[in-house]
Amino acid sequence: MHVTMRAATADDTAFLETMLVESVNWLPDRNLPKERILAEMGHYVAGWPRPTDLGVIALDPDGRPIGAAWLRYYDADEAGYGFVAADVPELSIAVAAQWRGQGVGRALLRELHARRTGPISLSVERANPAIELYRSEGYRTVSSGRDSDTMIRDM
């Protein structure tokens, strides 16, 4: 499989919204509506990009976007699910369903890690197979909720 990467730009806002929906609806039988997800979690993409945002887009061999990984800083009052500190950006990542399990997520993580030095945090549901990807890429659990873990990668 051959994918290419490019930096996420302001033109990618709609695609990032789609990927946010994918990240929530990772279970085949979960189909929460986009409007609900954006109403509850829209701060992950609202105003993209802010000056401190960093993101990458994975493209299929025909140049179509198939996945995204992006970092955003939050204050404690607007904290995301994977918030650990205001000086640690939180990772959001998703791959289109038909491309999962083919190395796209790992490629996105590695590309983002190559562009960012310093710690990165994330939140992942424990039942999500991606948790093994995060562990294999150096993330460790720093706190746990009922169904999810907050992880951090120290660089």
Average pLDDT, the chain: 94
DSSP code for 146: S
pLDDT digits (tens, 9 = 90+) for 37-69: 999 999 999 999 999 999 999 999 999 999 999
Find the mean pLDDT for residues 118-145: 95
pLDDT at 90 over 80: yes
Domains and CATH numbers, the chain: 4-117 (3.40.630.30)
Instruction: Please answer whether residues 64 and 104 qualify as being in contact, where contact means their C-beta atoms are separated by less than 8 angstroms.
Output: no
Q: What does 27-76 look like in DSSP terms, one character per residue? A: STT----HHHHHHHHGGGTTTSPPTT-EEEEEE-TTS-EEEEEEEE---G
| pTM as predicted | 0.93
Distance, CA of 17 to CA of 44 (rounded, Å): 9
